[in-house]
Structure 1
Amino acid sequence: MEAGGRRQQEERQRLRELRQEAVEYYRGHRVQQRVEDALNALFPLRPADLYGELANYFSKFSKAPVICKLVGRKVLDGVGQPTLEVEIYCTVKNYDKKICSIVMSSHSQIPENPLSETTEADEKERNDSVNTAVEWVNESLNTMLKNLKPTDQCEVDKMLGEYFSKKVEEKKEIQKQEEAAEATLTLTSCTPSATALPGEKKTAKPGKKVAVAERRIPPAEPWESVLCGSLAIGGTSLAIAKAAATISHIPLYLHIALLKHDQDSPKEMTLPLPMVTLLNCEKILPAKLKLVKEIILIPPVQLSLKQGIERVLDIQKEMMRLLEPPGKTTSPQLANSKKGRAHNTGKKALVKGKYEILTGTFKSPEEMVDIYVELINKFPFIIALIDPLRKEDRQQWSNICYALGSKCYLIAEDAATCISKLKIDQNISIPVCSGVVLKYINQTKVSDLIELTGLLDGQRHITILGSPDRESSDDSLVDLAVGLGARFIKLGGLSRGERVTKYNRLLAIEEELAKNGTLREANLKFIAFAEESQPEKQLSDVPPPPKPEPSPPQLCPPALQVRSLPAQLPANNTLT
C-alpha cells in the first residue's frame, strides 16, 4: 500500500510539472507571437530586410569616415606621358577600405618657337615633377591629411594651399642662394673694360633723327613656371572631393554643386554645351600661323545632348568624305591629333608688331578687329571666338568686345592665366572678355574653381571647363563642369579614348538628370560691353550692358541645324 501511494504522489507531481511547462510554453509562444505581430506591423519586411533596416538605422550613430591613407602612383596619360594617380583610403565603420582614385591631366606651357633642347628639357622637367608629386602624396600629404573627414573640402584645401605656399617659399629661397652664388662667381671672374665690345650698340649722336617706331603689341609675357610636384595638390584635392561624393552615395557633380551652393541642393541643373573640335587647320611649321586654328561645332540648345552628339558625328563623317584626297596632302585634318603639339617651332620670326594671318599677309592690331567684325557679319552663326588676339594686346581686346560682344562670345583660353593667380588678382594676364576657359591643372584646388566660377557668375561672365593639353581617361572634369554650372565644356574632337570617355560621361549625366526630372534646358545670351570699358579694368569693373541682351541669331540651314562654327584662333599668335 505504501509503495502504491508513493507512485500516485509521484505521478501527481509529474502531472503538475507537465501542466506548468505547458502553461509556460503557450504563454511564451503567445508573447513571441505578439512581438512578431507588432514588428510586422511596424516593419512589413522579411527578417533579412528587417535586420538590414536596423543596421542602417544604427549605422547613423557610427563614427564618420575619415581619411586613413593616401597613395600616389606614377601612371601614363592618354598620349603615353607620365602623370599622377591619387588613391584615397578611408576608415569606414572601423574598416580601412579604398574609396576612389583619380588620374590627373597635366598641362605644360611651352614658350613660342622653342628649340629642340627646350622640348627635351620640358619632358625631363615633366618627369621630375611627376616623381616629386608621387613623393609628396605618399609622404607629406599622407601624414598631414590623416584622420581628416573627406567631406571637409574647405579644411583639406586650406591645408593643401598652405603646404604648397611653403614649398614655393622654399623654392624661392633656393633660387636666391643660387643667384647670389652665381653673381659672386661672375664678379670674381670678370674684369671691367672701358673699351666697347664688338657688336655693342653705339649711342645716337645729338641732333640725329630717329625714326618713329610703328605701334607694336607689347612683347609676349614670360611663361609661368610650374613648381615641381604641383600635380600633387590638384590631384589630392580632386580625389578627396570624389571620395566625399562616394561616401555620401551621390554623384560627384551633385557633391560639387552642394559645395558651391553651401549644401543647398539645386532643384534643376543645366548641362554644359560641348565645344567639339571638328577640324585642325594649323600646320606645324616654323613661324607659320593661320587665322583659324580650329573649327569647333556647338550643338544647338534645342536638341538634347545625345541628339547633338549624333548630329556632330554625322557632320564629321561628311567632312571626312569631302576631305578625302586622291593622294596625301597637307589639307586640314580631323581633330584627332595630339593636343599641345600645335606650338610654333623653329627659328624666331622678326618682330614687326603685326599679326601674320597667312603666309606673307600681315595685319595690324586695328586691322585684326576689322577682320573679325567682317567675319561675324558675314557668318552670323559663329557664336564664339577663342583667343582672337594675343593677351598682351589689351586695347584691341577692349575694342573687339565692344564691337562684337552682343553678337558672339569673346573667350580667353590661353589668353588667361592659371586659376590660382587669377583667383588672387583678376587683372593678371587676362584681357576684357566674355568668358574664360578654366583648366584643372597643377596646384588648382576644388575650392579655387568654386570660388572663381562664383566670381565669374556674379559678373555675368561665362565659364568654360576645358581639357588640359595632355589628357587622361579620368572623366571627373565632366562632373566638375556640371556641378559648377559651366556654360560650355571644351573636350576636343570626338576621337581617342580619353576624350570619348568624357563625352560618354556627359551623356550618362544627361540621362540621369532627365530621369530625375532635374534637367533644365540651356540658353545662350551674349554680353554687350559698354563703349567706355577700358582694357586694364578687372572683370568686376566691366559695366552692365546698356540694353537687354539679344538672343543669338538662328540662321543655320535646316539640314544642318548647327548653332555655330566658332573658330578658335592661335593661342599665342606669333608677331612677325
Structure 2
Amino acid sequence: MGEEGGGRGCGTPRELQRLKQQALEYYRENDVPRRLEELLNSTFYLQPADVYGHLANCFSKLAKPPTICRVVGKKVLDGLGLPTLQVEIFCTIQNFPKNICSVVIATHFEVHENTFPELAEAEEVERSNAVSTAVQWVNETITQELQGIAPSNQAQVDQVLRTFFENKVQEDKERKELEKSLEESTVPVPLPLIPPPPPPPAKKKGQKQGMKDTLTEKPIIPPEPVEPVLCGSMAIGAVSLAVAKTSALLGSNPLYVDIALLKHPQEQPTKLTIPSLMVSLVSCGKSSPGKLNLMKEVICIPHPGLTAKQGVEMLMEIQKQINKTIEMPPPPKTESKKGHNGGKRGQQLITGKMSHLGCLTIAYDTIEQPLLLIQGICANLGLELGTNLHLAINCAAHELMDYSKGKYEVMTGTHKTAAEMVDLYVDLIGKFPSIIAIIDPFRKEDAEQWDSIYSALGSRCYIIAGSASKSISKLLADGNISIPKSSGLIIKHTNQTTMSDLVEVTNLIDSEKHIAIFGSAEGESSDGSLADLAVGLGVRFIKLGGLSRGERVTKYNRLFTIEEELVQNGTLGFKEEYTVLGSNKDNDKAAESHEAAAEVAGELREPPQPIFPAEAGEESAKA
C-alpha cells in the first residue's frame, strides 16, 4: 500500500479508514445491491453457468483495456520457400496473456531468376542475416519497448518503433565509422607515383572536328547508389502491421476499417472503394526465353464498372485461352507468306514455367506479339480492349540497360538510346491505345527522358514510377514525389514502413494529384493483409501479380471478401473512370459507367450509412 501511494503513508490506520469510507460511498452512490438484484432477477430462469457468464460480462467492462505484453518474432518461409519474418502479438486481457494475431511480411529482395551463382549465394546470405537480425530485434528490445502500450494507440506504437530504428541507424553509422578508422590506422597506404600525363596526340590532317566527341557528348548517367536497407529493418514494418491487426481484432473491426480510421481521423468516410485490379497475365521480360526483353509484365485492368470478382472471372477466362493458344501446334510452314511475317506469327509460343509473379512466362520475339495475342483472345471472347478491359506494361527499364553500350536492350541484339525509347513508346501507344499505363519506362537516372515521355504521353496514359521511385522513407524525408516526373507511384509495405508512414505517403500522393498503386513484393508471403491496407488507404490501383500461386491468390480472395462485406453494409463506393488528365471519354459515357457500377455493387438501394464499425447482424442488401 505504501508503495502504491507513492510513499505518503497510505498504509496507516487513518489512510485505511479513509479508503474504506470511499468504498462505502461508492457502494451507496452506485446502488450496487440493487443492480446485482436486477441482474440476478433477469437471469432467474438461466442455468448457473449462464448467470456467472452474465456476471463476468458485467464486471469485464470494469477491467483494464488490453495492453501489449509480449511480441514474438519467428523465421518462416515466404511463397518462394525463402526466409522471411513472422510477428505474433500477445496482449494482457483481464490479467491473462493471450495470443491475438500474427502477420508475415515480405522482404524487399528482388527475385533474380537468371543470375550468377555467386551473386545468388551472396543474396541468400544477406537475406538470412536480415531475417535473423529482425527476429532478434523483435524478441529482445522491441517487445520490451512496447510492453504496456494499448494496441489501439497506433501512433504511439509507430513512434516507439521509429525511435528504435533511428537508434539502430545511428549505431550502424558509428560502427562503420569505427571500422573505417581502424582500417585506416592499421593499413598504411603508400602514395602512388603518378607519371606525368602523356602529350595529346597530334591531330591528323583531314580529321573532322568532333567526330569522336559526338559519341561521348552525352555519356550515360551511371546508376545511382542503391538506397541502403538496414539489416533487420523489416521488424519495424512487421510489428507495426501486427499491432494494427491486433487493434482491429480486439475492436471486432476488419483491418481495412481501422486503416481507414487512421487515414481519416477527423471525418469518417461513409464509403470505401475496392482498388482497380492490375493483374499480370504474361511475363516476357529479361528472364523469359525469347528475344523480347522489354515487357516484364503485360497487365490487364478490368473496367471499373465490374466488381473485383467479375473482373477476375473475366481475366481467368482470358488466361485459359492463353494456355490453349500456347499449346496449339504451329501451322504448316508452307502456309507462311512472304512480306507478312507469317512465319513468326505462326510459330509455336514457348512457355517455360509459371513466373514467380504468378503469370505465364512466354517467349516472344517482337514487342507487338504479346499484345496481339491478348487482343485476339479478347476478340474471340467478345471483349473489346479499351472498353471491357485495358492494358498496362511493366517495362522494368532498370533491368534492360546495357552499360557497356549505354543503351537499353529492348530485344536481344537490339539496343536503343533513351531518346529512341521515347519514340518507341509513343509509337506503341499509337498502335495500342488500350494501354493506359506504362510502369518504369526508364531508369530513374534518366530524368530528361521521364520529362519527355510525360510531355508526349501524359495525357494519353499513366506514366508510373515503380522501381524508379524512391523508397517511402526517402519520399517522406524529401516531401517530393515529382522526381522522376510521373503520373503516379507504386508503394509497397516493406522494411521500416509503418502504418503511419503509409497513411502519410498516400496523403502526400493525394495532395499532389498523383495516383497511388499498392503493389506486392516479388517474393510475397501468404499474409492477406495487403488487401486490407489497399482498401483502407483508398489507393487507386492494386497490383498483386498473376492469378496463380497461393501467396497471390490469397490476396485476391481477401479482396472478394472485403467487397462482399461492403456490399452487404451498403458502403461500397464508386470507382473512377480511367481518365488521364481529362482524357478521351465524355461525361455521358462516364455517367453510364457509374450507373453500371452502381447496379453491380448494389449502390442504388439505400442512403449512405457509416461504416465504422459495421454492425453485426445487419440485413444484407441485394446487389
Do they superpose with TM above 0.5? Answer: yes
SS of structure 1 residue aligned to 2:157:
helix
Residue 67 (structure 1) aligned with residue 86 (structure 2): no
- Corresponding residue of 1:190: 190
- Corresponding residue of 2:557: 504
- Stretches of structure 2 lacking an aligned partner (at least 5 in a row): 1-33, 331-346, 362-394, 590-595, 597-623
Distance (whole Å) between structure 2 residues aligned to residue 549 and residue 330 of structure 1: 36
Per-residue CA shift, 1:529-554, capped at 9, x if unaligned?
xxxxxxxxxxxxxxxxxxx4554999
- Corresponding residue of 1:275: 278
Per-residue CA shift, 1:74-125, capped at 9, x if unaligned?
1111111111100000011222100100011111258999653232111101
Distance (whole Å) between structure 2 residues aligned to residue 254 and residue 60 of structure 1: 23
Higher relative contact order (CA 8 A, sep 6+): 1
Given candidates 317, 322, 325, the residue that maps to 2:320 is 317
SS of structure 2 residue aligned to 1:149:
coil
Per-residue CA shift, 1:387-416, capped at 9, x if unaligned?
111111111212212222222111111111
- Corresponding residue of 2:609: none
Distance (whole Å) between structure 1 residues aligned to residue 313 and residue 141 of structure 2: 47
Distance (whole Å) between structure 1 residues aligned to residue 401 and residue 456 of structure 2: 32
| Contact kept? 2:114, 2:287, Cα under 8 Å | no
Report the CA distance between 1:422 and its aligned residue. 1.2
Distance (whole Å) between structure 1 residues aligned to residue 325 and residue 291 of structure 2: 25
Deviation larger for 345-354 or 373-382: 345-354
Deviation larger for 518-527 or 96-105: 518-527
Report the CA distance between 1:55 and its aligned residue. 5.0
Residue 125 (structure 1) aligned with residue 178 (structure 2): no
Deviation larger for 67-76 or 319-328: 319-328
Kindly tell me the number of residue pairs found equivalent between the two proteins: 499
Per-residue CA shift, 1:28-82, capped at 9, x if unaligned?
xxxxxx9999889999997888876665454333211100001111111111111
- Corresponding residue of 2:301: 298
Cα distance change of structure 1 residues 400 and 49 upon mapping to structure 2, 3 Å threshold = farther
Q: How does 1:219-234 map to 2 (within 5 A)?
A: 219-234=222-237
- Corresponding residue of 1:77: 78
Distance (whole Å) between structure 1 residues aligned to residue 354 and residue 499 of structure 2: 29
Cα distance change of structure 1 residues 53 and 373 upon mapping to structure 2, 3 Å threshold = farther
Report the CA distance between 1:332 and its aligned residue. 5.2
| Contact kept? 2:294, 2:400, Cα under 8 Å | no
| Contact kept? 2:490, 2:517, Cα under 8 Å | yes
Distance (whole Å) between structure 1 residues aligned to residue 564 and residue 479 of structure 2: 36
The residue type paired with residue 139 of structure 1 is: E
- Corresponding residue of 1:28: none
Distance (whole Å) between structure 2 residues aligned to residue 73 and residue 279 of structure 1: 35
The residue type paired with residue 184 of structure 1 is: S
- Corresponding residue of 1:432: 485
| Contact kept? 1:525, 1:550, Cα under 8 Å | no
Distance (whole Å) between structure 1 residues aligned to residue 537 and residue 309 of structure 2: 21
Per-residue CA shift, 1:171-224, capped at 9, x if unaligned?
1111112222333344x253532447xxxx857469896623243442211222
- Stretches of structure 1 lacking an aligned partner (at least 5 in a row): 1-33, 529-547, 555-560, 562-576
Distance (whole Å) between structure 2 residues aligned to residue 398 and residue 147 of structure 1: 51
Cα distance change of structure 1 residues 455 and 520 upon mapping to structure 2, 3 Å threshold = same
Report the CA distance between 1:368 and its aligned residue. 1.6
Distance (whole Å) between structure 2 residues aligned to residue 286 and residue 182 of structure 1: 46
- Corresponding residue of 1:337: 356
- Normalised by the length of structure 2, the TM-score is 0.72
Per-residue CA shift, 1:226-275, capped at 9, x if unaligned?
11111111111110010010111100000000011016432110001121
| Contact kept? 1:88, 1:243, Cα under 8 Å | yes
| Contact kept? 1:287, 1:344, Cα under 8 Å | no
Distance (whole Å) between structure 2 residues aligned to residue 473 and residue 526 of structure 1: 33
Deviation larger for 172-181 or 103-112: 103-112
SS of structure 2 residue aligned to 1:442:
coil
Distance (whole Å) between structure 1 residues aligned to residue 396 and residue 441 of structure 2: 16
Cα distance change of structure 1 residues 110 and 281 upon mapping to structure 2, 3 Å threshold = closer
User: Please, what is the CA RMSD of the aligned residues?
Assistant: 3.7
- Corresponding residue of 2:142: 141
- Corresponding residue of 2:88: 87
| Contact kept? 1:306, 1:507, Cα under 8 Å | yes
SS of structure 2 residue aligned to 1:276:
strand
Distance (whole Å) between structure 2 residues aligned to residue 217 and residue 374 of structure 1: 24
Distance (whole Å) between structure 1 residues aligned to residue 79 and residue 172 of structure 2: 30
Cα distance change of structure 1 residues 283 and 451 upon mapping to structure 2, 3 Å threshold = closer
The residue type paired with residue 182 of structure 1 is: E
Identical pairs, percent: 48
SS of structure 2 residue aligned to 1:87:
strand
| Contact kept? 1:472, 1:498, Cα under 8 Å | yes
SS of structure 1 residue aligned to 2:534:
helix
SS of structure 2 residue aligned to 1:292:
strand
| Contact kept? 2:111, 2:522, Cα under 8 Å | no
Cα distance change of structure 1 residues 203 and 282 upon mapping to structure 2, 3 Å threshold = farther
Q: How does 1:467-546 map to 2 (within 5 A)?
A: 467-528=520-581
Distance (whole Å) between structure 2 residues aligned to residue 45 and residue 461 of structure 1: 62
SS of structure 2 residue aligned to 1:243:
helix
- Normalised by the length of structure 1, the TM-score is 0.78
